[in-house]
Structure 1
Amino acid sequence: MKRLFIFLLMTLLIFSLFTTMAFAKQEITLKVVTRTWAKELIKYATSKLQAAHPDLNIKVDASYYEYNECRTQLAIRLSRKEPIDAIIVDHIWLGEFKDMILPLDISEIKGYDDYLPSFKALMEKYAPPKKTLGLYAATDIRLLFWNKELMQKLGINSVDIKTWDDVKRYAKMIKAKENLLPKGVKPVGFMAGNSEHTNSRWYDYLWAAGGDILTKDEKEAKFNDKEGVAALEFYGWFLKNGMVAPEDVVSPANGAVYDEAFLNGKFVISLGNGHWLGTSTAKNVGLTKEQFISKFGATLIPAPEGGERGTTVAGGYLWCVSKFAKHPKLTLEFIEYITNAEGYNQPGTGKNGIPTLKSALPTIDNLPYADIIKEAVKHARFRPTIPEYPKIAEEIRDAIQEYVMNYDKKSAKEILDKAAKKVNEILK
């Protein structure tokens, strides 16, 4: 009897053990390197991935970093072949990390054709045929803005800006009645401080004129061609005609300072601000959406005669699968939840910004000047994606600032040629 009891007990234990093993969930941990602002996004994508795989116990081990530290950590951790699964890559870092990213088969990516063409081209830039190096998340764009209240104070009740000449025409109208403006207000402003915002907002005009930063192979400077000279001289026209002083545009330490100065009435026309001017910046200065729309007008970046109206630098990140990923297929699914059209600009998803997917563009309909933003994103351009770009950007920014401070002494061509020579040395 005792032997029978022991036998039954052992049988029960073995059965219990096998049952537990059969129903135990496999534990999977995805390692992620990303930015500090992505916590809600990671939480959302993790929940979506777990719901799609109830048979797995999925955990995400995410490391969050600020901008510069994120780039540094990616370089360190990928160089030692750490088994990181998903990484976030600023598009201007793409050339630096391209050899550490796993190319993805386009045919395996859901909704790939939904991407706007320019973003799709960037994603495929360094990838083999029929593959992509990552999935583009949200972006941001730039527009020209003006202060309606100040315009109306001068008797200008209708504004229609499409060309560079249009901007000059309105600037002259404002200048003619400058005495009616509050003290210190300037007819026109643009960003020329010591910040990448100076570069990106000038590039809009460089591209509008038909120029570019570098040659197509990214091996030589091109910004000093006639189109670049015209774009810098466009800035110079406002300086030479007393529409703004050098200190007004050089002093802002960054784009945020300049943007708030514009909203607070420093300039009547601003040659370039990010679309966030009507959302986060407006909120920072105490304006509601309705107040912003009532007080400020917006339009696409203007172009010279024969140029392309609406050109805008596009910011943003790609989500990529690391070459050293332990779980590449699951990671692809994870970054699809981060970047696909579902949940864009909805509370609790962390998927905020201007979508790069056509089907998700209606989610920004509640933004100020949404229709103009939707048109602008079709004209998106990108800064160089090579590792040398930060050094190149410094030379271009120095050139813009040198011209602003010496517009009456040195020519735009002379200054840009000098900068181009330095850039070509960097590119050797």
Structure 2
Amino acid sequence: MKRGLAFIIAVFMLIGLLAGCSGENKAEADKTKDGKIVVDFWTFWGSETRRPIIEKIIDDYNSSQDKVFVKHTFLPWGDIWTKNLASVAAGNPADVIVNDINTVAQRAENKQVEDLSQYIDDSFKQKFHPHLWDTVEYDGKSYAVPFNTDTRLLFYNKTAFKEAGLDPEKPPATWAELEEYAKKLDVKNGDNYERVGFYPLWGSVGASSWMTNADSGKGFIEDGELTINTPKKVEALNWILDWKERLGENTVQAFQAEFGSEQANPFIAEKVAMWVDVGTFYTQLRDYGQDVDFGVAPIPANEEGSGNWAEGGGFVVEIPKGAKHPEEAMDFIKYLTDVEAQKYWSVKNYDNVANIEAAEAALNELEGPDKMVYEATVKNLKQTKMFPVPVEYPDYHSRLNPHIDNALLGKTSPEEALEEAEEDIAKMKKE
């Protein structure tokens, strides 16, 4: 018993000692040994491509001044969002975090992010693309700063175009031309496809993108009104189903089963002749598809004159609610979104940055295919729509997507699916 009691006492003493050490380390972590304020910066950029780029920017900032030291904390995609919300609730969040651009208003309404208005004036806002700045405003206040965005382009194989008797300098401009070209680009061996000209749900694109494209750039909620069950969106779903019917379910599934990244990407492997993806897809193409002669173009318009509309996403940098060092965090954010850092990010990633001057400066440093792709993405932003989630319809996608999936699986007609979706989402409106 005495030995057992002694063991228990020893355990409690050790726990107390460790707790004391933890508290001491936590206190010391607020500052470096030379007195700099430590700013904890959370990102999900841990790949071989992006991690060195963001850490170079951080190192440059740390060397540029003597008051703040930014520490980079990498968290895997998905985990970062969960841990951010948990840390805000616990009162010990990061100082700066990279977060989704289309859900800033949701976090602002839920008091999960700091109001940055006191640090921002009109001259600062004007540095960024207006359609991106709109995403960070809520109730007349600014809750984040745009970092980057994206747009979708049509990548096409020029060699395959020549083989099919198509002009490699004239990519399809409309949906009708896209279908016409795709049939010519298909290569079959008996009943089996060796190459598919195009399939609308392959790449970084989904049914919602085609529905937006068909409906003159309209999303599912416009100015607070539901615009889900529209004739053009129904038309888009029927159009996608026509592609599946022409190729056959077995062909679609067989090709998808082989999809991967790098050399296994079907466009890079030259098993698909046309492919919709974001501009940064070029980094894979550059590194693993050196022999692919390709071009890029806007997504074909539903019909001539209707617009080459694409969906856009991206990320912001923000200060979680309750962060200990908001002023120092904002100083870093201003550096991270200024010309030099943004230009470096874009040149290395071919990524659309939010800072207008930086995007233009990046073009002057690029050449050849690098410049061709990046210039195409910058031009394409004029026909790229952002769809911030309205606070009146939080998480409406969770109700919309199952209806779209049912239509694509043939469980219900597109007309019925979108009618039911609009009725379902109307019920969730928050007053």
TM range, smaller chain: 0.7 to 0.9
When the two structures are superposed, what TM-score results if normalisation uses the length of structure 2? 0.75
- 1:26-425 alignment runs, 5 A limit: 26-37=35-46, 40=52, 43-54=55-66, 56=67, 58-82=68-92, 84-98=94-108, 99-105=111-117, 107-108=120-121, 111-124=124-137, 126-128=138-140, 131-158=141-168, 159-174=170-185, 183-191=193-201, 197-199=204-206, 202-210=208-216, 212-216=218-222, 221-240=226-245, 242=246, 244-249=247-252, 252=256, 260-270=265-275, 272-283=276-287, 286-288=288-290, 291-292=291-292, 294=293, 296-305=294-303, 308-344=306-342, 346=344, 353-362=351-360, 363-364=362-363, 365-366=366-367, 367=370, 368-385=372-389, 392-406=396-410, 411-425=413-427
SS of the counterpart of 2:38? strand
SS of the counterpart of 2:300? coil
Check conservation: 2:153, 2:277, Cα contact below 8 A: yes
What is the CA–CA distance in structure 2 between the aligned matches of 1:246 and 1:395, rounded to whole Å? 26
Check conservation: 1:87, 1:319, Cα contact below 8 A: yes
TM-aligned CA deviation for residue 67 of structure 1: 1.9
Check conservation: 1:141, 1:380, Cα contact below 8 A: yes
Q: How many residues align?
A: 383
TM-aligned CA deviation for residue 311 of structure 1: 2.1
What is the CA–CA distance in structure 1 between the aligned matches of 2:161 and 2:171, rounded to whole Å? 12
What is the CA–CA distance in structure 2 between the aligned matches of 1:418 and 1:247, rounded to whole Å? 29
Check conservation: 1:205, 1:301, Cα contact below 8 A: no
Q: 1:389 to 1:140 in 2, by over 3 A?
A: farther
Check conservation: 2:102, 2:135, Cα contact below 8 A: no
What is the CA–CA distance in structure 2 between the aligned matches of 1:392 and 1:248, rounded to whole Å? 32
What is the CA–CA distance in structure 2 between the aligned matches of 1:173 and 1:27, rounded to whole Å? 63
Check conservation: 1:104, 1:133, Cα contact below 8 A: yes
Q: 1:254 to 1:216 in 2, by over 3 A?
A: farther
Q: Could you list the runs of 5+ residues in structure 1 that have no partner in the other structure? A: 1-23
Q: 1:417 to 1:188 in 2, by over 3 A?
A: same
Check conservation: 1:355, 1:361, Cα contact below 8 A: yes
Amino acid across the alignment from 1:206: T
Amino acid across the alignment from 1:187: G
Amino acid across the alignment from 2:234: V
SS of the counterpart of 2:313? coil
Q: 1:41 to 1:101 in 2, by over 3 A?
A: farther
SS of the counterpart of 1:89? strand
Check conservation: 1:136, 1:356, Cα contact below 8 A: yes
Q: 1:95 to 1:111 in 2, by over 3 A?
A: closer
SS of the counterpart of 2:197? strand
What is the CA–CA distance in structure 1 between the aligned matches of 2:173 and 2:392, rounded to whole Å? 34
* Structure showing greater relative contact order (alpha-carbon pairs closer than 8 Å, 6 or more residues apart): 1
What is the CA–CA distance in structure 2 between the aligned matches of 1:260 and 1:162, rounded to whole Å? 24
TM-aligned CA deviation for residue 246 of structure 1: 3.2
RMSD between superposed Cα atoms in Å: 3.8
Rg (Cα) greater in structure: 1
Q: 1:310 to 1:86 in 2, by over 3 A?
A: same
